[in-house]
Amino acid sequence: MTTGGPGLFSDIGKKAKDLLTMDYNCDQKFSITTNSETGVTLSSTVAKRRGLSSGDVAAQYKHKNAVFDVKVYTESNVLTTISITDILPSTKTILSFKLPDYKSGKLKVQYAHEHATFTTAVGLNKSPALDFSATIGTPSIAFGAESSYLTGSGKFAKYNAGVSLRKPDSSASVILADKGDSLRVSYLHHLSRLNGGAVVGEVSRRFSTNENTLTVGCSYVVDPLTVVKAKLNNHGNLGALLQHKLTPKSFLTISGALDTKALEKSPKFGLELSLKP
């Protein structure tokens, strides 16, 4: 696919969202990845959430412009994803389905142009949902919209719109979502004083309930191997994490969360270890 351009609709506000959500985890999780001589990448994950244990085993095989992924969950579900790049110029085709739910199949096609991107997805069942998104612009400014139409009921399940502004050291976005019921505005700025870290602010409003949420966060690069992140919103929810790079692709993440306005303040802690060759 063509690189650069305005990016996908899902990229609007993604950097700010990732800084506020990615790697924050109050569960215990362990994953290990290995590469076989045949070119197959195998990975296994075990997690404990709220006293319940779960896990999965995944395999990935790459051949020329195709990638085959198979993941088996402890619930005996099997998720298979096949991604093929450039069947047609500047396109990516993704076929996914989960067994034993044979109605879960979905076919997605992405097209990337220098000044526009389009994504279309259709469910592989009798009354499929039709998903469509489009973004126009440049790497510096982009406008986009997405929608999902339910052919069975003849109604739209969602329609969202957004705009993003990007500079080398900052990015800002405005997203109108939930059929116009919510508005989210975010701004992220990289600071040299944080050794390459960043500060982020996000304001979200839900019009139907008149609820406003302000969240601020930051990341600080302690050294080339260690990053510290923290976030706090106006409801008193505090989160923090420390991530240390064990090898170029392996990480140890320790995170915690605390409701500062709760009568009984009981912090929650999580530990995640990801090992890759």
Q: What is the DSSP string of 140-157?
A: SEEEEEEEEEETTTTEEE
User: What's the confidence (pLDDT) of residue 83?
Assistant: 97
How does pLDDT run across 187-243, given as a tens digit for each residue? 999 998 888 899 999 999 999 999 999 999 999 999 999 999 999 999 999 999 999
3-state secondary structure of 199: strand
User: What's the confidence (pLDDT) of residue 1?
Assistant: 59
CB of 43 within 8 A of CB of 61? Answer: no
Structure tokens, 204: 């979200």
3-state secondary structure of 35: strand
CB of 143 within 8 A of CB of 163? Answer: yes
CB of 111 within 8 A of CB of 131? Answer: no
Name beta bridge partners: 58: 43, 71
Q: Please indicate whether residue 147 or residue 74 has the higher confidence score (pLDDT).
A: 147
The predicted model gives 170-199 an average pLDDT of: 94
CB of 3 within 8 A of CB of 15? Answer: no
Phi (first) and psi of residue 11, to 5 degrees: -80, -15
Determine the Cα–Cα distance for residues 254 and 217; give it in Å rounded to an integer. Answer: 17
Q: Where are the alpha helices (DSSP H) in 13-163?
A: 14-21
Cα radius of gyration rounded to whole Å, the chain: 21
3-state secondary structure of 113: coil
pLDDT-derived band of residue 48, with 50, 70 and 90 as boundaries?
confident
Give me the domains of the chain, ranges plus CATH numbers: 9-275 (2.40.160.10)
Determine the Cα–Cα distance for residues 182 and 206; give it in Å rounded to an integer. Answer: 4
Structure tokens, 242: 């420390």
Name beta bridge partners: 60: 41, 69
pLDDT-derived band of residue 50, with 50, 70 and 90 as boundaries?
confident
